[in-house]
Chains A and B, each alone.
Chain A
Amino acid sequence: MPEKLRLGIFKFASCDGCQLSLLNAEEELLELAELVEFAHFPEASSRIDSGPYDLVLIEGSISTPEDLDRIQQIRRQTDTLVTIGACATAGGIQALRNGANHDEFMKLVYPHPEYLQSLATSTPISNHVSVDFELRGCPVDTGQLLQIISDKLHHRKFSVPDHSVCRDCKLQNIVCVSVARGIPCLGPLTQAGCGAICPRFHRGCYGCFGPCHQTNTDGLTDWLIKDGHASAELIPLFLNVNAEAPEFARTGAQLKRQDSAEGESDE
């Protein structure tokens, strides 16, 4: 029997949901354990083995001074590093602090902010070390996660579809929520992977998988504004779980400028 793939899973600032997506592979989990050695997976096993690892999956964003050192140490111990989820790939929901007054945020939540170690920003792993592949999603899709591990096992190039949610929606014959119901939807800009679940549940996509390849963001926001939506209404849609993904961050900032310009011209 060939040697098992040594897998390490490490967590930074996050909700644990992407690691849970691996444990949610209920039926495949026992099969996977035949091929993969969970060398570092503290959420599931109290046996902790040190590196080097063949593949490391990183959940969570860099948000404390200690994280800055720890991610460097982990990178040195692994052949391949893949980030899993919106936190590790784009800074996550906690990146909503970026640009805000960090001291004020600390004081708002904690009576003794001086006890805490926190950075003013939450940043993706790729800002700090080289990353071999970024798996999107808030949370990641279990099927895509298994595929990445399988790709590594079989020495295949990592790849997931990078077309939009909008296309998946059409393939499922879902009636367009924007056209038929006037609901703002990020489907045309967001990478596929979730199965177009939001339109399937009669609501607009809110961008869990981040911007897809080749977006026409301005085209969509212009159309939504012409369709009667205020800039202010669209800001929280972009500044969400992938707020720091460059294309969403740029559009969020642009909408904020438009909104304050509209506010001034009203006065």
Chain B
Amino acid sequence: MSESRTIRVGALTRVEGEGALHVSLNNNVIDRVELNIYESPRFFEAFLRGRPLEDVPDLTARICGICPVAYQMSSACAIEAALEIEIPTEIHQLRKLLYCGEWIESHCLHMHLLQAPDFFGYSSGLELGKHFPDEIKRGLRLKKIGNQILEVLGGRSVHPVNVCIGGFYRTPALDELQSLIPELEWGLQAAIETTHWISGFNFPDFVCNYDLISISNSSEYPWFGDTMGSSKGESFDVKEYEQVICEYQVPHSTALQAHKIESQTSCLFGPLARINHSRDNFHPNARELADRVNIQWPCNNPFQSILARGLEVVHAFEEALEICRNYQRPSESRIPYQPRAAVGMAATEAPRGTLFHRYEIDDAGLIQHATIIPPTSQNQKQIENDLRDYLPPLLSMEDDQVAQACERLIRSYDPCISCATHFLKLSIERVE
């Protein structure tokens, strides 16, 4: 006689947005592992149709309050590619600075308030702060500096208002950027200390065989770029993105998943992909630290992506300092353009991984078609596969401990299911 057991565990927490995990076991062998994202569909790709192209950065920013700059950057770059607008170096540098602000803010939030508590068994960053007050205060100040960059360049940290097609509405005055330098100098040293602190955490020994994908540039650590690289040695142009990776829908999740079209295999996007491909392009402090922290390269342990985030924060501070120190206000804040019928696409590196956008525009400059492929939908299948590998040695534990371990692993990818989601429950079904 077979006996079935279903165990439901409370909401998966400390992720941006909410979803669910369902694990079913048949005679203690894993049958199904399904990451359920109970998304409230918000239909961005539908209501973008017919909107003026100028609206797109502001509208797509609203997909995610944690990484609005990524949405503004991918959408602006895709539309600029369609209209063949060349962005001058000085404006491109300011966009990179804006992105530094977002990486610092988003990574420091995740490192200190979302993931670090797991390594000490606390329920929140605030609780962790009672035991590590200096570290958490330092982390919050680092996060604040990220927000200050966003405020100086974009007016506010959530949904900044300054990015437009062709550049910015207004470039910052010299003294506005120079005013950031003292805090950035403090931040660089603090980020190095934070990364040292994190490198002493006790990481589970769990190494995966990843196909890591990110933008790969020959000379700089990626925020922007036209070439995608894979740890399997392949590379492809961003224009071919949809010929290599496709989204599909599964019945158990309302967020689309993605895989490689040819092999139908999952891939991992985000800090581990970027750092494994491009750490040689780090600025000097981050580069040196990458060799000194306790990490084996290439790193394929998802729990250690928190260290990759720490190193990326160090790099972002160095990048931001270089941009602020060398800044000269450009004569024009944006490049003029004439709308015309065209198709354009672009990918940029959101804190959580590659964010691809594609737009078709008509002669009047109205959006005819939009495709947005966010990092979390691309990572979703990989997260399920990793859970499948991670679970077997844990199955002898009590269900609530298994659930906690799964939550820890899911949290390490920093999934940004907030993009359109609600409720996350974990259930384990055992059929014996």
Contact = CB atoms under 8 A, between A and B. Distances in A.
Interface string B62-74: 1111101000000
Contacts of A19: 65
Nearest to A111: B249
A139 B158 contact: yes
A44 B124 contact: yes
Contacts of A197: 155-156, 161
Given A46-B407, A67-B40, A97-B43, A16 B17 contact: yes
A250 B59 CA distance: 21
Interface in A59-81: 60, 63-64, 66-67
A138 B65 CA distance: 10
Nearest to B129: A30
A153 interface: no
B147 interface: yes
Contact of A24 (B64, B137, B158): B158
Interface residues of A, number: 64
B126 A33 contact: yes
Contacts of A106: 41, 43
A15 B65 contact: yes
Interface stretch (B50-58, B201-209, B218-226): B50-58
Interface string B125-149: 1110100000011001101100100
Contacts of A264: none
Contact of A201 (B117, B169, B407): B169
A17 B162 contact: no
Contacts of A116: 41, 254
A97 B62 contact: no
A11 interface: yes
A65 B63 CA distance: 21
A13 interface: yes
A46 B424 CA distance: 12
A50 to B, nearest CB: 10
Contact of B46 (A108, A112, A203): A108
Interface stretch (B315-323, B337-345, B392-400, B414-422): B414-422
Interface string B356-384: 00000000000000000000000000000
Given A96-B47, A108-B45, A20 B66 contact: yes
A15 B62 contact: yes
B88 interface: no
A202 B169 contact: yes
Given A15-B65, A26-B143, A30-B129, A118 B55 contact: no
Contact of B123 (A46, A122, A240): A46
A26 B140 contact: yes
Interface in B220-274: 248-249, 251, 254, 256
Interface in A88-132: 92-94, 96-97, 100, 104-106, 108-112, 115-116, 118, 122
A236 interface: yes
Contact of A43 (B13, B62, B141): B13
Contacts of B114: 44
B40 A64 contact: yes
Contact of B422 (A12, A15, A44): A12
A45 B64 contact: no
B40 A13 contact: yes
A44 B125 contact: yes
B158 A17 contact: yes
Interface residues of B, number: 70
B126 A203 contact: no
A23 B113 contact: yes
A21 B164 contact: no
Contacts of A30: 126, 129, 136-137, 140
Given A44-B113, A46-B124, A139 B65 contact: yes
B157 interface: yes
A201 B422 contact: no
Contacts of B40: 12-13, 60, 63-64, 67, 94, 118
B66 A93 contact: no
Contacts of B256: 110
Contact of A27 (B17, B144, B251): B144
B7 to A, nearest CB: 17
Contacts of A122: 42
A194 interface: yes
A248 interface: no
Interface in A15-66: 15-21, 23-24, 26-27, 29-30, 33, 38, 42-48, 60, 63-64, 66
B140 A100 contact: no
B146 to A, nearest CB: 10
A26 B144 contact: yes
Interface of B: 10-11, 13-18, 40-47, 49, 51-52, 55, 58-59, 62-66, 68, 109, 113-114, 117, 123-127, 129, 136-137, 140-141, 143-144, 147, 154-159, 161-162, 164, 168-170, 248-249, 251, 254, 256, 333, 407, 418-420, 422-424
Given A111-B248, A198-B155, 15 more contacts: A17-B65, A18-B158, A24-B147, A42-B424, A47-B124, A60-B40, A97-B47, A104-B46, A105-B47, A115-B254, A116-B254, A138-B62, A201-B162, A203-B164, A236-B51
14 contacts: A15-B418, A16-B64, A17-B65, A17-B159, A21-B158, A24-B158, A42-B14, A42-B424, A46-B13, A108-B46, A109-B46, A116-B254, A201-B154, A203-B162
Q: Which 6 A-B pairs have the closest CB atoms?
A: A17-B65, A197-B155, A45-B124, A16-B418, A13-B40, A46-B13
